[in-house]
């Protein structure tokens, strides 16, 4: 059956992708949704919720407000709260109800900005698309409103990290590991979109010489920054030792040539095993992991991507598998399956299943079992064995 998930979970929505991407930036993020809908985000999808403050709000739109198209209450509530909280920006986030009644969040944001003087934008999420499109919308708005083309580049080689959210990387230290790895290869981390960097740091992203895209959610801003700021991008996560070395090589090559590249299209696989492995997940991370496994263990790896992505990121053998049925078919004959534990019901009986938790899919259930694989031999991690 198409568009039915009978055995598996579903991914986090675009609404929550936006919240996750903007969480640390000091802005006021307002989901224009019925009260209660935000608890899925706060309870399941946002591991920072209890330890880090953020101005995430819900408008609690009521049935009659939706029927009558009463935008004034939203405008009034947001202005009143913003005047108290003094956020650095205001993001109005769409949801199924405003989507269906055609609420013009961009126009409402313009009214709020006029009244408060605080940069405001409307993000047209609808709760029916995946989290990556939400991350993409949020980052795009930040680049549009706050980042400028810097004429003076940094004197040291700076790399922006694009696509960091707990939805893809949890809070297991992976992003810190990427920062350390960048330092170890003789470069500096510029802005990190958007974990561990302030809005002010993000606004200076134009100073960097190269962008490292670690999730498909950042692909659009990577392309935008290439076009508008002349910053080339490299797509890949430095997982494992051998793939991290390939990412390093690509970063240095792009710095020299000014050309963008996708790392998983660049490494040489050394297939020594007859076994076949499948990795299910976000395309940039999964193809990077596949690259490490093929180089390190000689096992052929096929990426099955249920999420938004594009052809240039996937290798020839990889597949987009948006439906549960597609996944089940693609998994037939696999010896090894690496995926979030909630995918286990789809795993063929004879195949070995290696759990790799993904917050965007299973929330915080397996939060403590997501290994930091950055620049490490997998044996060290205690995760993939």
Partner 1 sequence: MIKIAVYGKGGIGKSTTVSNLSAALAQKGKKVLQIGCDPKADSTISLRHGKELSTVLDTIRKKKDNFTLDDVMCIGYQGVACVEAGGPIPGLGCAGRGIITALEKLEKKGIYDVVKPDIVFYDVLGDVVCGGFSMPMRSGYADLVYIITSGENMSIHAAANIAMAIDNFKGRGYAKLGGIILNHKNVKSERAKVEELCEDIHSQIVGELSFSETVQDAEPMKKTVIEAFGTSKMAEEYRKLADKILSRQG
Is residue 103 part of the contact set for partner 1 (CB under 8 A)? yes
Query: Which one of residues 60, 79, 85, 101 is an interface residue with partner 1 (CB under 8 A)?
Result: 101
Nearer to partner 1, 38 or 103 (CB): 103
φ, ψ of residue 312 to 5 degrees: the values are: -65, -20
Least separation, in Å, of the C-beta of 253 and partner 1? 33
User: Least separation, in Å, of the C-beta of 322 and partner 1?
Assistant: 11
Alpha-carbon distance 215 to 338, whole Å? 18
Closest CA to 288 of 252, 247, 229, 258: 247
Site size toward partner 1 (CB under 8 A) is 13
Round to the nearest angstrom and report the end-to-end CA distance of the chain.
Answer: 34
- What is the three-class DSSP state of 374? strand
Residue 11: how many other CB atoms lie within 10 Å: 24
Identify residues 192-211 at the interface with partner 1 (CB under 8 A): none
User: Is residue 354 a contact residue for partner 1 (CB under 8 A)?
Assistant: no
Please say which residue, 99 or 146, places its beta carbon nearer to partner 1: 99
Closest CA to 24 of 55, 45, 57: 55
Query: Closest separation between CB of residue 36 and partner 1, Å?
Result: 23
Rank residues 108 and 175 by Cβ distance to partner 1 and give the closer one.
108
69 binds partner 1 per the rule CB under 8 A: yes
Q: How many CB atoms lie within 10 A of CB 348?
A: 15
Interface segment toward partner 1; rule CB under 8 A; list 45-53, 106-114, 271-279, 316-324:
106-114
Cβ closest to partner 1, residue 323 vs residue 335: 323
Choice between 187 and 219, CB closer to partner 1 = 219
Kindly state whether residue 68 participates in binding partner 1, applying the rule CB under 8 A: no
- In this chain, which of 99, 146, 353, 354 binds partner 1, going by CB under 8 A? 99
Q: Is 26 or 322 the residue whose CB approaches partner 1 more closely? A: 322
Q: Is the Cβ–Cβ distance between 90 and 119 less than 8 Å?
A: yes
Closest residue by Cα to residue 145 from 77, 91, 85, 76: 91
Containing H/E element for 76? Answer: helix 71-85
Region from 102-110, 196-204, 216-224, 278-286 binding partner 1, contact rule CB under 8 A: 102-110
Q: Residue 36 burial (CB < 10 Å; 0-12/13-18/19+)? A: exposed
Stretch that binds partner 1, among 33-41, 97-105, 224-232, 248-256 (CB under 8 A): 97-105
Question: Measuring CA to CA, how many Å separate 363 from each of 127, 133, 207, 230, 342?
Answer: 16, 18, 35, 37, 10
Q: Is 96 in the site for partner 1 (CB under 8 A)?
A: no
Q: Contact residues for partner 1 (CB under 8 A)? A: 69, 99-104, 106-108, 110-111, 114
């Amino acid at each position: 059956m198409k568009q039915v998930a009978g055995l598996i979970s579903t991914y986090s929505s675009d609404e929550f992708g936006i919240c996750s991407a903007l969480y640390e930036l000091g802005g006021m993020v307002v989901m224009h949704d019925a009260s209660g809908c935000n608890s899925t985000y706060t309870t399941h999808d946002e591991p920072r919720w209890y330890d880090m403050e953020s101005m995430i709000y819900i408008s609690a739109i009521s049935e009659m407000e939706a029927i009558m198209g009463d935008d004034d209450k939203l405008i009034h509530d947001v202005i009143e709260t913003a005047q108290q909280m003094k956020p650095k920006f205001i993001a109005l986030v769409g949801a199924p109800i405003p989507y269906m009644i055609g609420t013009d969040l961009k126009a409402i944001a313009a009214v709020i900005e006029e009244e408060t003087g605080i940069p405001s934008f409307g993000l047209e999420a609808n709760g029916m698309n995946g989290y990556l499109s939400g991350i993409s919308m949020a980052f795009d708005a930040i680049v549009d409103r706050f980042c400028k083309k810097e004429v003076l580049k940094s004197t040291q080689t700076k790399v922006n990290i694009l696509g960091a959210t707990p939805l893809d990387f949890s809070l297991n230290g992976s992003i810190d590991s990427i920062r350390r790895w960048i330092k170890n290869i003789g470069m500096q981390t510029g802005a990190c979109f958007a974990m561990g960097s302030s809005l002010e740091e993000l606004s200076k992203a134009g100073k960097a010489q190269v962008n490292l895209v670690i999730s498909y959610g950042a692909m659009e801003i990577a392309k935008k920054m290439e076009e508008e700021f002349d910053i080339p991008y490299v797509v890949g996560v430095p997982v494992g030792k051998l793939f991290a070395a390939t990412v390093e090589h690509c970063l240095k090559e792009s710095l020299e040539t000014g050309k963008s590249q996708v790392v998983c299209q660049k490494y040489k696989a050394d297939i020594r095993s007859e076994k076949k492995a499948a990795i299910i997940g976000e395309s940039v991370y999964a193809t990077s992991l596949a690259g490490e496994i093929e180089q390190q263990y000689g096992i052929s790896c096929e990426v099955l991507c249920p999420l938004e992505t594009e052809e240039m990121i996937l290798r020839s053998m990889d597949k987009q598998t948006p439906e549960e049925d597609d996944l089940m078919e693609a998994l037939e004959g696999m010896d090894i399956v690496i995926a979030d534990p909630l995918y286990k019901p789809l795993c063929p009986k004879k195949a070995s299943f290696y759990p790799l938790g993904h917050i965007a899919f299973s929330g915080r259930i397996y939060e403590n079992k997501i290994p930091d694989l950055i620049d490490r031999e997998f044996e060290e991690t205690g995760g993939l064995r």
